[in-house]
Structure 1
Amino acid sequence: MKHVLIPTDFSIRSLRVVHGVVERFGGEPLNIVLMHAIEMPTSIMDLMMLSRRSAHQDLITADYKDACEIIKNKYASVIQSMKTEFLIGNGKGIFRNFLLYHNIDVIACAAKEEFRKAGPNSYNPAELIRKSKYPVHQVPLAPRKEKFLVSAMSELFEA
């Protein structure tokens, strides 16, 4: 069983990396962790209030949740689990501990980086991934056909 980390910005397009991961590892069972990176809060009040029910949970949209369900159903025979987790902080040690905690074997990223900030504290984890000693699988994504959500959702079925 492979444990795969996929960075996400909560866009439907970022979930298309899952198709490449399933294709790359064939029929091997997969545990997928979709990771979104946010900066550590700087005020003491924000740190005290930091919990699983924090404002960063609001970054996860209904469309993203629906797309995750579509993918899990499509690859039900291969994907054992798929969950979204937040990496809070931007240090190498924090990232290493995150990878160890989730038993990550490989990191999968889109070959052409198209990161967008989902929230004011979001950041691109590309530098942390590059500096980690974990194997990184680059997944080429086809160019976007249209900029409409309906077309983005339909692309999940095509791959």
Structure 2
Amino acid sequence: MKTLLVPTDFTYQSLQSIPTIAQQYYPQKLNIVLVHMLKITDSISELLMLSRRSAEYRHIPDNFYIRCRELEKDYSHLINKISIDFFYGSTLAVFNNYLDGHQIDGIVTPHDNYQLLFKNSIDPQILITRCGKRIIPVTETAGLMTDVFAGDPELIEQQ
């Protein structure tokens, strides 16, 4: 079983490549780790408040969670699990430790309109290109670039 990291900004666009990537690895099932990257603060008071790490999860739209579960169900023959995580750090060494700890086999490139959501968000491309892991390029599909914040996933699929 392979594990792939997919940079996410919690939009539908960051999920649209998952079925295509999963089909490329068939018959092997995939674990998908959706990650948003944040640099860690240098403020001592913020570092002492470890509960802040869970605060970012409150910014993930419900529609994003719903779409992840739908993908797991609809592609259960291709996908074992989809998980959502945050990476905290900004150095290559810390990123490589994260990749090793999660047993990441490859990294999907971020979509074209990837957005930095928080003031401490970092561009994932900076670390991805230097990490030494297999990079899986994704071609964008026209007509499916709708943001998950915009509404109902059924409406998005009809476009």
The TM-score with structure 2 as length reference comes to: 0.87
Aligned pairs for 1:1-159 within 5 A: 1-51=1-51, 54-110=54-110, 113-144=112-143, 147=146, 148-150=150-152, 154-155=156-157
Question: What is the aligned-residue RMSD (CA, Å)?
Answer: 2.2
SS in 1 for 2:15: helix
CA contact (8 A) 1:5 1:104 kept: yes
Distance 1:3 1:30 in 2: 6
Q: Render the CA deviation track for 1:43-86: whole Å, top value 9, x for unaligned.
A: 11111112475321222111111111111111112211110111
Residues 153 and 79 (structure 1 numbering): CA distance in 2 closer, same or farther, change over 3 Å? farther
Consecutive unaligned residues of structure 1, counting only runs of 5 or more, are none
Consecutive unaligned residues of structure 2, counting only runs of 5 or more, are none
Q: Render the CA deviation track for 1:129-149: whole Å, top value 9, x for unaligned.
A: 001111111111212357443
AA paired with 2:84?
T
Percentage identity across aligned positions? 29
Distance 1:88 1:144 in 2: 33
CA contact (8 A) 2:67 2:153 kept: no
**1:36 CA displacement:** 0.7
**1:120 CA displacement:** 2.2
SS in 2 for 1:20: helix
Deviates more, 1:43-52 or 1:68-77: 43-52
Residues 145 and 75 (structure 1 numbering): CA distance in 2 closer, same or farther, change over 3 Å? closer
Distance 1:152 1:20 in 2: 19
AA paired with 1:61?
P
AA paired with 1:141?
E
AA paired with 1:33?
V
Distance 2:126 2:55 in 1: 25
Residues 87 and 153 (structure 1 numbering): CA distance in 2 closer, same or farther, change over 3 Å? farther
| Count of residues in correspondence between the two structures | 156
**1:40 CA displacement:** 0.4
AA paired with 1:66?
I
Residues 144 and 84 (structure 1 numbering): CA distance in 2 closer, same or farther, change over 3 Å? same
